Amino acid sequence: MESSQGHGDDEAKTETLAVILAAAPEASQTSRQELLEQLQQCQKQQRDVNLMLHTVTQDSRCRLCPEKWLWWMGRCYFFSVGLQENRQWNESAEFCRRHNSSLVVIEDSAEMDFIQGVMRNFSQVPFLWVGLTDAKQEGQWLWGDGRAVQHYMQVMVEWDSDHRDCADLRGGTSLFAADCEEYGPWACKKEY
């Protein structure tokens, strides 16, 4: 996962450098070439560091999260895709509880980006159960921690209706109301 993310970052940095170089026509061809070489050297060093970090974190003595869980920003995440059979929303929530966690509560745009990045690695995933429901009161969407859907971010739950009481996350950071009896993958989150 890190390598594909890093590769995308490298492409973005190269594109950024190209824009900077194009905007600085007074720079000589030599200095442009030197800047490009420095950028490529930095990218190589970043890949090397990422590889070392990945290798170290695979050692069970250094693992912050349980096996098959991902660490990000001081928390551990479990993505069921490819590891567990799809489950209904309640079954997914129960799995998380049994593992001292909860269905993911998305607290900010950085966390949303992280989760979306993981989802992109699994192109066959149409959606991902998250810890958001209006089962207690129709139309009042609450995260698993009891906070309103818009407490953390300005997002809306689309397709809301009486029989759709559980939320899933889809591409493009969209949250959708869904029938809780549908089967699908999910994500858990816990403090490490």
CATH code assigned at 183: 3.10.100.10
pLDDT digits (tens, 9 = 90+) for 131-144: 999 999 999 999 99
Specify the number of domains making up the chain: 2
Question: What does the alpha-carbon distance between residue 79 and residue 116 come to, in Å, rounded to a whole number?
Answer: 11
Average pLDDT over residues 30-47: 86
Query: Is pLDDT above 90 for 4?
Result: no
Pair (36, 76) in one structural domain: no
In a domain, 65, yes or no: no
pLDDT digits (tens, 9 = 90+) for 163-173: 999 999 998 77
Strands of the sheet containing 187-191, edge to edge, are 70-72, 75-79, 187-191, 102-103
Task: Tell me if 127 sits within 8 A of 172, measured CB to CB.
Answer: no
Pair (36, 79) in one structural domain: no
Pair (79, 11) in one structural domain: no
Report pLDDT for 33. 86
Which domain covers residue 156, as residue numbers? 70-191
pLDDT digits (tens, 9 = 90+) for 96-107: 999 999 999 999
pLDDT cut 90: percent of the chain above it = 56
Q: Kindly report whether the global pTM for this prediction surpasses the value 0.75.
A: no
Pair (28, 80) in one structural domain: no
